[in-house]
Amino acid sequence: MIPWFQIQAVGIWFVKLNVWGMFVSFGFLAGMAVSYFEFKKRKLEANRVYDLAFWIILCSMIGGRLFFVAEHLDVYLAAPLDILKLWHGGMSIYGGFIGAVLAGIIYFKKNKLGFWQYADAAIFGLPIGLFIGRLGCFLIHDHPGIRTNFFLGVAYPDGIRHDLGLYDSLAGLFIFLVFLIFHRKEWFRGFYLSVFCVLYGAIRFFLDFFRVRDAVGADLRYFGLTLAQYLSVALFVAGIYLFCKLRAKKQQVISNF
């Protein structure tokens, strides 16, 4: 069991910094650094990481916020100005994914870059970014789960509960380790993108069964599943489709020689 603690902000001199925002920022920086080295390893234009990261971060933040607001529309209709209070948290990771993908597609197309090749290098840093960013969610405990006796349960004031921020963070670390294991061999273009979709979709679908149901702010469920679980299924299926299609495409190219 993990003892209860909560760190909302830290003071540095006369400045008070939001912990969640700090860790999200650290996650973006770490992910960008990993992607930069992956660009160099693949002999791609590494300096494009900075331009690409700017647009991906901007669009993922906008997409993540808009999706979160849409999920809790009744709350924000009562206080519209709260939509702008990003320092209070409130982001949808799937909204962030969609915003990032759209930014990437537009950027690659505008600059006439090979989508699969650059997308694979860019996404290589995403899992480590999730690992660090989700630690911020764990420290502020904004994703409580159902009651449990699991050894990683957190002793919330009302009892021991799963903490989805912690689990999502560990999921990011797990996917990054999988990437490193597969990194020893050269795969087809789009490999890491498709593998991420499969792994994250499956893990997130499973984890959402442990989300809190008996507290204010609990996620709405439609036919027993959260919206994120439906999106996880879509992500998983898309990953399987991409994996099979891109792998078959590479094998076809090889057989033509």
Per-residue model confidence (pLDDT) at position 255: 42
Exposure string (b/e) for 27-64, b if CB count within 10 Å is 16 or more?
Answer: bbebbbebbbebbeeeebebebbeebbebbbebbbebb
pLDDT tens per residue across span 67-105: 888 877 877 888 888 787 776 667 888 999 999 999 999
Per-residue model confidence (pLDDT) at position 87: 65
Contact 131, 177 (CB under 8 A): no
- The pTM of this model reads 0.89
Look at residue 11 and give its three-state secondary structure.
strand
Per-residue model confidence (pLDDT) at position 114: 86
Per-residue model confidence (pLDDT) at position 12: 76
Q: Which residue has the tokens 């050894």?
A: 151
Task: State how far the alpha carbon of 82 is from the alpha carbons of 87, 93, 146, 166, in Å.
Answer: 10, 19, 28, 26
Contact 16, 133 (CB under 8 A): no
Q: Which residues of the chain have pLDDT under 70?
A: 87-89, 215-217, 250-257
CA distance 255 to 257: 5
